[in-house]
Amino acid sequence: QVQLVESGGGLVQPGGSLRLSCAASGFTFSSYAMSWVRQAPGKGLEWVSDINNSGGSTYYADSVKGRFTISRDNAKNTLYLQMNSLKPEDTAVYYCVKDRTMYNAATGGMDYWGKGTLVTVSS
């Protein structure tokens, strides 16, 4: 079955960096777009970023554009999110999500979610 396992979260000071990873299994990783979605404490879900199946197209929420970089390694079935210049408002649980199509979540939605990894940005 589809499994998405996030790692790399933790406590970081404002201005710091973290890299999240998501190990995928149970499906043909290279055939699907992937997303990162986050949920801050007490708030709703926020789409963060998306990457198409080949990695050639990437999309970002305005709140993270210029600070976060999404990437993937199809040979390793792994999705990444490099987060730089972190702010306290980036504190959230970050979820790795499989999209339904090869293009992006806006095209066909999302279907499988990981359990998430907590990122806390605080001094």
pLDDT tens digits in sequence order for the chain, 123 residues long:
999 999 999 999 999 999 999 999 999 999 999 999 999 999 999 999 999 999 999 999 999 999 999 999 999 999 999 999 999 999 999 999 999 988 888 888 899 999 999 999 999
Contacts for 65 with CB less than 8 Å, ≥ 6 apart: none
Torsional sign, CA 63, 68, 74, 76: negative
